Amino acid sequence: MQNILNLFQGIATLAASDPKIIIARISLIFLGMLLVYLGKREILEPLLMIPMGLGMSAINAGVLFFSNGQQGNLFVDPLITDPKALLDILQIDFLQPIYTLTFSNGLIACFVFMGIGVLLDVGFLLARPFLSMFLALCAELGTFATIPIAKALGLSLNDAASIAMVGGADGPMVLFTSLSLSKDLFVPITVVAYLYLGLTYGGYPYLIKLMVPKKLRAIKMPPKKASRAVTSGEKMAFAAVVNTVLCLLFPVAAPLFVSLFLGVAIRESGLKHFIDFIGGPLLYGSTFFLGFLLGVLCEAHLILNPKVLILLVLGIIALLLSGIGGILGGYIMYFITRGKFNPVIGIAGVSCVPTTAKVAQKSVNEVNPEALILPEAIGANICGVITTAIIAGIYITLIPAFLK
């Protein structure tokens, strides 16, 4: 029997593990399969969930014995720090080079952000700058309010700020912030972020129905007064100026800012080959490896950390509060304009581009097919990306200084 177990080491390591590890491994194997299924059905984002689910199942099934009798895998070792040991492991674990050279330093998050920049038309923001900024700031409620809640639940300030960034609904931003502030928990925080971001499309419509009655959801936005279109030169100037100012104010988050606005500038430059590369192979390749590596990092010891359950609860709270804050911002604009503003637009300030803008438009169309709110929603949505990046820069800059 022992010889058979030695032949199939995945089963042998399972049999030799503590009961907690056995349950955790089996649970994560089936959770990975569930993510693949939900991704295939497009209930969750398939671009992330399919590679993440397969990686999660594989890492928990593919555990083997090493020559020293210890258990391990041939995927990646995220905890290794000794330079000599790192050089050795780079030649053994097949995902270690990708993790070490693109993941642990935030490069893969910057690649994704660059791709997002290529997809953003900041003309919607520049056409309504004050409205977009106001709604985006209101939709950051979860990013701020989750910190004291997390502190009350026993998390450190660094960990609290990292999980609060889930309220910004921007996966690369959560990854970058948690890598800077909370390296020990960046894997569960980032996994929680991406799992919950996939739920925004399914969950936010119910929040809209709960907070906004049909009569208000049906409001048609008044036609915008005729004005000249925002030129590509103005969009490039906006990207250059805002990027420079933000890098000057928050140098620690400069890689994120320059990645986003470089993408915007390339979009407006009309450089087709760059646009096709950054918005295609770079963005989708980075998204694939981001999802796959996050799945592979979800090994059994992860869910045995008692903080993971707290992170799961706080992630939901952060996204819920941000959605509520956005809708409250929409209500404020409704009263300011004396009933001429559709409060549903406020939820688009949550920066899950373009999901929340599409959710807002879909919710409105269910009660009034003739109501078009997408231009205002996209402006708030794009501004939400920028405000979330600014908040990430503030947290990464100020929190370490505050703790000194």
Inform me whether the pLDDT recorded for 183 exceeds 80: yes
User: Which run of H or E residues covers position 65?
Assistant: strand 64-65
Inform me whether the pLDDT recorded for 200 exceeds 90: no
Inform me whether the pLDDT recorded for 212 exceeds 90: yes
pLDDT, residue 227, reads: 62
381 and 347 in contact (C-beta within 8 Å)? no
pLDDT tier at 6, thresholds 50, 70, 90: low
Domain ranges of the chain: 1-65, 97-221+229-403
**Which two three-digit tokens encode residue 132?**
């977009």
Per-residue pLDDT averaged across 288-302, rounded?
A: 89
User: Residue 72, SS3?
Assistant: strand
Amino acid at 102: T
Inform me whether the pLDDT recorded for 2 exceeds 60: no
Inform me whether the pLDDT recorded for 361 exceeds 70: yes
What is the secondary structure of 173-231 as a DSSP string?
HHHHHHHHH-GGGHHHHHHHHHHHHTTHHHHHHHHHHHHS-HHHHTPPPPPPPP-PPPP
Write out pLDDT tens, residues 9-24: 777 787 777 888 889 8
Query: Which range has the top average pLDDT, 180-189, 222-231, 311-320?
Result: 311-320
pLDDT, residue 106, reads: 87
Write out pLDDT tens, residues 70-127: 787 888 888 777 788 888 888 888 899 999 888 888 899 999 999 999 999 999 999 8
Report DSSP state, residue 213.
-
